Amino acid sequence: MNVSASVPPLNSPNSDNIPTILDSLPDPEITEQLCPSRTRTQIDLMLLAIEALELTGSEAILSFAEELDLKGIIKNRVNLWQMRSSNPLRRAYIRRPLTVLEAKALVVITCYITRRLTVLIRQLLTIYQQLAEKQIPPEQNLRLATYLERFRAHFKSRMNPRRSGALSLTSDEKLDELAIDLLGKLLFCTGTAGMQRYWISLFDGEVE
């Protein structure tokens, strides 16, 4: 069942209560400081890749929200679901804006979780490259196949295949390509100033 509803942003903290960890991410020059569709989609897909990497992905997001003093923005599981459902590819797409502040919190958490997974991400990308060079299917490696299988399962269960952005991602091969591309983006986040560079890339072509 597809869900499409209008929900306003929830109780955004005022400027005096904004966690200092978010100060390193600049405010993009966009209308009303609300994230465009592409930004919302990319953030959610990155989190989807993290969930495919480890089974406790959702719990890790909430755990880091508390650890990084971001509970004022990401309050609970329902609040997190509402933010991620602002991705228009979602089956349960909710027509609510994702504020820049909320997006910053999600990006910071994404990058902190990714740093913890850096070794695994590097290993998977190396395995994929080695298999590709030998023209061996990725399912021949258990660890890589497990990640790709989980990602495909998450994507198919949560995204609406009839949405325009998902029409080209109906085959397992295309979803595997997306899953590998997201691994590269996650690894990018772990580099020098990776969090800031990733954040800026989310608004490429969107700033006024």
What is the pLDDT of the chain when averaged over all its residues? 87
Least confident stretch, 101-110, 116-125, 198-207: 198-207
One-letter amino acid identity for 65? Answer: A
Average pLDDT rounded to a whole number, residues 127-142: 95
Query: What is the reported pLDDT for 7?
Result: 43
Phi-psi region of 21 (alpha: psi -120 to 50; beta: other; left: phi over 0): alpha
Tell me which of 111 and 1 has the higher pLDDT: 111
Tell me which of 13 and 59 has the higher pLDDT: 59
* pTM of the predicted structure, to 2 decimals: 0.86
Query: What is the reported pLDDT for 164?
Result: 62
d(CA 73, CA 91): 24
Report DSSP letters for 1-53, one per residue: ----EE-PPP-PPPGGG--GGGGGSPPP--GGGB--HHHHHHHHHHHHHHHHH
Confidence of residue 17 (pLDDT cuts 50, 70, 90): low
Query: What is the reported pLDDT for 54?
Result: 87
d(CA 173, CA 139): 11
Confidence of residue 92 (pLDDT cuts 50, 70, 90): confident
* Cα–Cα nearest to 195, from 98, 116, 107, 99: 107
Query: What is the reported pLDDT for 3?
Result: 41
Average pLDDT rounded to a whole number, residues 196-208: 80
Question: pLDDT tens across 107-125, in order?
Answer: 999 999 999 999 999 999 9
Tell me which of 202 and 57 has the higher pLDDT: 202
pLDDT at 94 over 70: yes
